[in-house]
Amino acid sequence: MVSNAARKYEEEQVPVTPIDQPQPGVQPVRWSRFERLLMVVGSAVTLLLIIALLSIKISINTRQHNLQDLQSKVAQVKNNNASDRQEIADLTSQGNLKKIAQKYGLSDKNSNVRNVNK
């Protein structure tokens, strides 16, 4: 009796078709005009967005370099200003003024001098 059950099971099995082989009578569905138009428009928009993104990135990098150049120029001018202020402070010091006055034969009288500060 066991052998009869096995035979019935084998008979009831449906033959399996391989997945890789196309089934006869089934053809791929063609794209409609709307679908093709949608793909073309979507591809064009994507391409334009990529180009816009790249151009914006390039312009941002260029402006960043310009900003760095300006910042270095500002730092250089600040250093020059500090150097000039130091030189002015040295030249207007009391000791330097006395030394220049002695060089040209001038005398310094503290009673006649007034200090004016801003």
Query: What is the average pLDDT value for the chain, to the nearest integer?
Result: 84
* The predicted structure's pLDDT at residue 6: 54
* The predicted structure's pLDDT at residue 11: 56
Q: Is the pLDDT of residue 7 over 60?
A: no
Categorize the per-residue pLDDT at 107 as very low, low, confident or very high, splitting at 50, 70 and 90.
Answer: confident
What single-letter DSSP state applies at residue 92?
Answer: T
Q: Do the beta carbons of residue 96 and residue 102 sit within 8 Å? A: no
Q: Is the pLDDT of residue 82 over 60?
A: yes
Other Cβ atoms less than 10 A from the Cβ of 98: the count is 13
Token pair belonging to 35: 């679908």
Which is higher by pLDDT, 55 or 31?
55
Q: Is the pLDDT of residue 63 over 90?
A: yes
Other Cβ atoms less than 10 A from the Cβ of 90: the count is 10
